[in-house]
Amino acid sequence: MVPTVRESWGAPLDILGAFGHGRSYGIESWVLGRSLPGIVDCALWETLPSRSPATTAALVTDVGNDLLYGFKVQQIITWVQTCLERLANNHARTIVTELPIENLERLGPLRYNLFRSILFPRCRLTLAEMLNRARELNQQLLELAHHFSATTVQPQQEWYGIDPIHIRKRGRSRAWREIFSNWNTADEPVNHLQRSPGLWLTLQSLKPFQRHFLGAQQLHPQPCARLSEGSLISLY
């Protein structure tokens, strides 16, 4: 994702991120022995106003995770609204990705139950229940994005493989490029930067400000990386 962001905006950048597999907008989420705080409660929001004034872009995505944690649509929308309000207060140019509804509608019960048991083992929603909630959440998400003048992007079926909710590896660059193209305008020149294995290794080693791993709390100073062209990366 970071290389594609640099292609959209050039460099150097000051990148703040709050993400992770199965990340919840409102509660602490656990995946494979690691936990992260809910996005609305993470330290990103304390850090953002302290940054030097600059043109700001934001991406709000993966809103559907909380459905599979059992939360009702209105609760999820409340969390996302809080995030969008904070971004609007920081004059961010915001993109909101819709839920991959068309892809989810192609799921059969066998594939749905397989991925639900692997990624969200505590979820007991049937496929029909999940689809109904996903459609309702997506509609309210579109209305909320419109209220905050955010750009919405509809995921494309070809971005996904067997996994119904995660963009497949070989399609990520194309998908992120299409999503991030809504950030920039034609009169803003971009310096294209070469990708490298060294950058990939650096990005894979980054650790967030706060997490629990196998029950132990871990704290890491931020920014957690300074790239060769001067970009800073902070994770929360």
Domains contained in the chain, number: 1
- In this predicted model, what pLDDT tens digit does every residue of 149-203 receive, in sequence order? 999 999 998 998 888 888 988 888 889 999 998 887 545 545 555 567 788 888 8
Q: Which residue from 137, 143, 166, 163 is spatially nearest to 64, judged by alpha carbons? A: 137
Asked if residue 192 belongs to a domain, the reply is no
Which DSSP state fits 155? P
Asked if residue 142 belongs to a domain, the reply is yes
Full residue range of the structural domain in which residue 159 is found: 2-9+23-186+201-235
* Cα 5 to Cα 8: distance, rounded to the nearest angstrom: 5
Q: What is the pLDDT of residue 226?
A: 94
SS3 142: helix
SS3 160: strand
- At 114, which CATH number? 3.40.50
Is the per-residue pLDDT at 127 higher than 60?
yes
Asked if residue 115 belongs to a domain, the reply is yes
Record the tokens describing residue 48, joined without a space: 């953002």
**156 burial level (CB within 10 Å; 0-12, 13-18, 19+):** middle
Asked if residue 61 belongs to a domain, the reply is yes
- What does each C-alpha distance from 135 to 13, 121, 130, 140 come to in angstroms? 35, 22, 9, 9
Is the per-residue pLDDT at 225 higher than 80?
yes
Asked if residue 194 belongs to a domain, the reply is no
Flag the least confident range among 81-95, 146-160, 182-196, 222-236: 182-196
Is the per-residue pLDDT at 9 higher than 90?
no
Flag the least confident range among 45-54, 150-159, 219-228: 45-54
Asked if residue 191 belongs to a domain, the reply is no
Q: Please give the average per-residue pLDDT across 65-93, as a whole number.
A: 96
Residues contacting residue 80 through CB under 8 Å, at least 6 positions apart:
25, 60, 63, 141, 144
Asked if residue 96 belongs to a domain, the reply is yes
Asked if residue 112 belongs to a domain, the reply is yes
Average pLDDT over all residues of the chain: 90
Q: Please give the average per-residue pLDDT across 117-129, as a whole number.
A: 89
